[in-house]
Amino acid sequence: MSFLNPLFLFALVAVGVPVLIYLLNLRKPKRILFSTLSFFDSLKQSALRRIRIKNWLLLALRCLAVAAMALAVSGPVFIHSTTFLSADEPRVVGIVIDNSPSMERINRNGPYFEQALSIAEELTGQLQGRDAVLLEFTNGETLGLPFQSPGAALQQLRSAETVNAGNYTAERLKRVTDLLMERDETGKLLWFISDGQATQLQGFRTDEREANQDIFFQYFILDGAETVNAAFEEVTLEQGSEPGSALQLRIRIRNTGERVLASTFLSLIADGELITQQPFAIEPGSSAGYLLDLPSTENPVMAVELRIEGDELSFDNHFYAAVHLPGIRTVMVLSEERPASRFSNYFRPMLEIAAEDESRLRIEFKGSDRVQIAELEQVDAIILDGVRSIPDYLAEALIEQVQAGAGLLLMPAADGSLSDYNRLLTLAGSPGYGNVVGSYGSFTTVDRMAPPEGEHPLLNGIFEAEEGETIRLNVPEFFYFFDIVRSGRAADQPVLTLRTGTPLLMETRLGEGKILYSAAGSDPGWSNFPLKPFFAPLFYNVLNWLAGSEPARLLTHETGSPFRFEYRGDSAAPLLQKGEERILPETRQLFRGREIIYAAEEWVPGWLRVDPEDQNILIGVNFDTMESDLNPLTKSDLGELFRGRFALVQEMPAGGDESLAERNLRQSAFGKEIWYWFVFIALILLLLETVLSKLYKTENI
């Protein structure tokens, strides 16, 4: 035990006051004449002894009561395991304050953040001039300040505000802890003031370091606010595999508050124009999905903003989506005029339908005998649809275009020249076709397609199957096909196979481009594949993949994580533009292009432009959706979390008591104040003195 006000121990001299009063009341016995004393002789000795004992007990109780009161005013404190400072030692104090948007909530004592600042100011105000303070906030760019005086820290606190930027709670706590451990002072305190939001402390939970033995960690948790909050849980871009299908945003909104969402609206704004607005209502803890069509545009990029209106908390009511539309790619289809056949070509009608939508692909049809070599240089993909012969000059020109980056699809003719086909494929380094299997137009099944496996890009979006789930498909039957010879080259990969293991659709990489060749043609004489639902979406994907036509993309970045972007522009030092600020980021050379790297700690939701002077790539910056989950950790979970990182941990009340800060500081610095124990002891002693005086009166002895 120690004393905060040791000078008041001089009050212990007051213990002599009851003794002095007792001595002053001592007087010689008065003689009184009695007729006889024979009845008192037997009681004389025992009575006097009892009176003395009673007087001494009363005197002891009075002296102890006075001593207890003297000790109480001296500020006694209990020296426990978390007390390691004396009144004369300087302190080093770290203060980490949650300034996330969730701290804008209000309980009966006012806004959380104002309460947090008030607690921090009260605590800092009790420090002495020789103490050192390190101040840090959880959100946005780090202050990066060194240890400073309590007065300077107070100035910083008075200008603090919540920030709708990334959350770095775990990183800031680790930083302050490391800097405290670098100090030589023995007294190290760390105060953490927050609303205890579970998602913000997730990174701190995964820290595997051993518990710190030298820092006394105290945390203040603000709670009690009831809020209504709607947040974007997920936003994805969708487009049907059919030509001409509209782009759509699939939006999932979650009610993270404690009351039903009502009178709230979802608005979609594209390129500054309000496209649609619809009301919604969601129960607490539930989600709802919405599918909104995007308008058509001739621009390569559409700036889409989603807004939730009518919500109490607005920090997560905006979602910025940069929709990058694919450029128009050109496909040339080479075929031959031939007499009417009893089997219709099902591939040609599909290509003609795709040609009607020129938003992504421009498809040209040419006779293989009339095409000019210069025309091949202007296209992104070439399709040989049932061409029976391929002259040498055409084969060499096709290979040159593939090496330069074009795509090539070979759909053989039943009466086509295998030698011509193989000459073309040999120029690409592929072994090509082997034997002929089956009989054309016989409708006698010689093999069936094996269920698709793997994750080839051509299969994306065709099947809806969970990870690891087997694709169930009414597989096509084949009556006639060319046997594709397998090779051991890494450049040759089968996309689809038959049940016997023979490749049905083979991919060959050459230079910057790729070749796909099929074991079967596209009419029913080969198989019933063209009649299956799988056929059209597969070959529509083939068109886009060969032409290098990427699907529309949604470019977004979440605050709280470093910005990384693969840049393929010409600038050696591409800039980033966020608002009015221009940033020169770090870059790293890749095989193709450069990777842009930037910490992005200070970024808030809005628009970002990469290389604004040249490519002007637009990216939407959004709040991390996890931050919208306002649920706090329970007291037991918080205690377990912090005790796993610090050996000396104490939860502090974060109420509205103005004397709270001073009391907590004293306790953390010098031990637990126990003056009220001595006041209570003094009252008990005085009560005993009163009872003893009443029960043991002199006349009762």
Write the CA distances from 558 to 410, 602, 607, 627, integer angstroms: 43, 12, 12, 11
pLDDT at 447 over 90: yes
Average pLDDT over residues 312-327: 89
Average pLDDT over residues 284-299: 89
What is the band of 693 on the pLDDT scale with cuts at 50, 70, 90? confident
187-199 confidence digits (pLDDT tens): 889 999 999 998 8
- Of residues 211 and 266, which shows the higher confidence score? 266
How many domains does the structure of the chain reveal?
4
pLDDT at 339 over 80: no
- Residue 611 domain-assigned (yes or no): yes
The first and second tokens of residue 450, run together, are 């094996």
pLDDT at 1 over 70: no
Q: Do residues 54 and 165 both lie within one domain?
A: no
**Residue-level pLDDT at 208:** 61
**Residue-level pLDDT at 290:** 93
**Residue-level pLDDT at 238:** 87
What is the band of 606 on the pLDDT scale with cuts at 50, 70, 90? very high
**Residue-level pLDDT at 83:** 46
- Of residues 79 and 265, which shows the higher confidence score? 265
**Residue-level pLDDT at 326:** 78
pLDDT at 203 over 80: no
CATH number at residue 522: 3.40.50.880
Task: With both helix axes pointing from N to C terminus, report the angle between 660-670 and 112-125 in degrees, rounded to the nearest 10.
Answer: 50
**Residue-level pLDDT at 55:** 77
Average pLDDT over residues 409-417: 93
Beta bridge partners of 193: 97, 220
- Residue 32 domain-assigned (yes or no): no
From 135-149, 523-537, 540-554, 557-571, the region with the lowest mean pLDDT: 540-554
Q: Do residues 352 and 256 both lie within one domain?
A: no
Buried b (16+ CB within 10 A) or exposed e, 151-160: eebbebbeeb
Average pLDDT over residues 544-564: 87
CATH number at residue 167: 3.40.50.410
- Residue 289 domain-assigned (yes or no): yes
Question: Alpha-carbon distance 362 to 380, whole Å?
Answer: 10
Q: Do residues 377 and 447 both lie within one domain?
A: yes
Q: Do residues 405 and 454 both lie within one domain?
A: yes
pLDDT at 179 over 60: yes
Q: Do residues 426 and 367 both lie within one domain?
A: yes
Find all residues with CB under 8 Å of 188, minimum gap 6, and list them.
Answer: 91, 92, 93, 94, 180, 181, 214, 215, 216
Average pLDDT over residues 431-456: 90
Q: Where are the beta strands (DSSP E) in 513-552?
A: 513-518
Question: Alpha-carbon distance 371 to 398, whole Å?
Answer: 12
Q: Do residues 460 and 528 both lie within one domain?
A: yes
Q: Which span out of 37-41, 136-140, 298-302 was modeled with the highest average pLDDT? A: 136-140
**Residue-level pLDDT at 409:** 95
In a 13 Å sphere around the CA of 213, the CA atoms on its Cβ side amount to 1
Backbone angles phi, psi at 582, to 5 degrees: -110, 135
Q: Do residues 104 and 213 both lie within one domain?
A: yes
Last residue within a domain, chosen from 494, 527, 546: 546
Domain extent for 47? 2-25+38-79+675-700
pLDDT at 282 over 80: yes
- Residue 256 domain-assigned (yes or no): yes
What is the band of 314 on the pLDDT scale with cuts at 50, 70, 90? confident
Question: Alpha-carbon distance 72 to 680, whole Å?
Answer: 10
Find all residues with CB under 8 Å of 692, minimum gap 6, and list them.
Answer: 54, 57, 58, 61
Which amino acid belongs to residue 159? S
**Residue-level pLDDT at 556:** 95
Percent of the chain with pLDDT over 90: 43
Question: Alpha-carbon distance 587 to 596, whole Å?
Answer: 5
Q: Do residues 173 and 60 both lie within one domain?
A: no
- Residue 33 domain-assigned (yes or no): no
- Residue 87 domain-assigned (yes or no): no
Question: Alpha-carbon distance 404 to 94, whole Å?
Answer: 61
Percent of the chain with pLDDT over 70: 86
The distance between the two most distant Cα atoms of the chain, rounded to a whole number of Å, is 162
Last residue within a domain, chosen from 628, 653, 685: 628
Average pLDDT over residues 248-275: 91
- Of residues 460 and 335, which shows the higher confidence score? 335
379 membership: H or E segment, kind and range: none
**Residue-level pLDDT at 658:** 47
- Residue 642 domain-assigned (yes or no): yes
Q: Do residues 370 and 513 both lie within one domain?
A: yes
CB neighbours (10 Å) of residue 356?
A: 9
pLDDT at 461 over 90: no
Count helices and strands in the chain by DSSP H and E runs: 14, 36
CATH number at residue 292: 2.60.40.10
pLDDT at 86 over 80: no
Question: Alpha-carbon distance 170 to 153, whole Å?
Answer: 21
From 21-35, 68-82, 325-339, the region with the lowest mean pLDDT: 21-35
Average pLDDT over residues 632-652: 87
Q: Do residues 134 and 240 both lie within one domain?
A: no
Last residue within a domain, chosen from 546, 571, 596: 546
What is the band of 17 on the pLDDT scale with cuts at 50, 70, 90? confident
Q: Do residues 300 and 423 both lie within one domain?
A: no
From 242-256, 444-458, 615-629, the region with the lowest mean pLDDT: 242-256
Q: Do residues 58 and 126 both lie within one domain?
A: no
- Residue 84 domain-assigned (yes or no): no
**Model confidence, pTM:** 0.65
